[in-house]
Amino acid sequence: MLPPRSSLLLAALVTVGALLAAPLAILAPSSATASAPTVAVAGSGDGSSVTERKPRRAKDPRRRLGLFVDPRMPAAQQGSAYRRIARQPQALWFTDYYPTSSVRSAAIDYLRRAKAARKTPTMVVYAIPGRDCGQHSAGGLGSPAAYRAWVRQLAKGIRASKAKPLLVLEPDAIGFYADNSACAGTRPWPALLKYAARTLTRSGAWVYIDSAHSDWSNANGGVPGRAALLKKSGIRYARGFSTNVSNFRTTASEHAYARTLLRELRKVGVKGKRYVVDTSRNGAARPVSGDVINPTWARLGAAPRLRFKGAFDGTLWVKHPGESDGPVNSSATSGQWCDQLADRLLGRPESPGC
């Protein structure tokens, strides 16, 4: 049985009214924006208003995720004796140990594991030609062209992983370059740092160009000269700079140094930069100047933690505690794990050797 004509008319009017009053939110994206703020927009002319949800821009995941603890780090392979070190997030170093043909896949593997853990990965690039000026960690790619090609492949790996890593760029390069008399073959370094900073930032990394530390020699202009060198080396493309990588200066000293460097950067027109501090081995209250190869007095420093407090992004463990700086105060070569060194950092009786 059909309803009366008056009922049909009434039903039609109700339907039209419902459509006019329906929230425009039905046109909005799915529940991902359900908590977004609303704003009033014009209604149907009867003095009422409807609301439209505006999508909230997602915060960068690095601001809300913790740092990645990689179970493949050296300390994690040493058993429970070194759990205190193994349980802390540490950086994975990308050096010429990974050839150009495989550095992309190595980056994808590491970064995807961090992404699966819903954590922020930390990387180090340490492959510039003439690295470490012929000292214990000497090496690097064979030429500027080889370095650029290697960096491009690494950047492709970062981009393919869709991860958002923190990346410390070329520890010690700025410090050594500022003292050219002690190191030959560094002339291409600023251009290479600029290329790497730009390329790796575009891939999605937060790049921190390493800027030595508070106790590094003040050759060639001191901190003002170092700021000018950072500008020449493309810090405008980077998020900022790192300090104290693989070194032992106190965190307070590094904060003071970073504030001075930020001030000098502003003087040369570079503003808005941030910094991170390596606290992996800076727990000693009174570090000894110049004693930087496996010092016997060194201790673990504060745990890594992102803070985002003003210009200070946080503390990282860039150096792996327990890995040697070279065959001084230890029999281990640079980069080799040594129980003795780990014991020393933990402040307990040392194993007889490595």
Active site residues: 132, 172, 325
Give the pair of three-digit tokens for residue 37: 């703020």
49-53/38-42 β-pairing = antiparallel
First to last CA, the chain: 94
Using an 8 Å Cβ cutoff, are 212 and 177 in contact? no
Backbone angles phi, psi at 206, to 5 degrees: -90, 110
The whole-angstrom separation of Cα 315 and Cα 301 is 10
Residue 109: count of CB within 10 angstroms of its CB: 14
Residue 47, judged by CB atoms within 10 A of its CB (0-12, 13-18, 19+), counts as exposed
Residue 236: count of CB within 10 angstroms of its CB: 17
The whole-angstrom separation of Cα 248 and Cα 228 is 25
- Per-residue HEC secondary structure of 79-105 comes to CHHHHHHHCCCCCEEEECCCCCCCHHH
Residue 141 CA, distance from chain mean position? 22
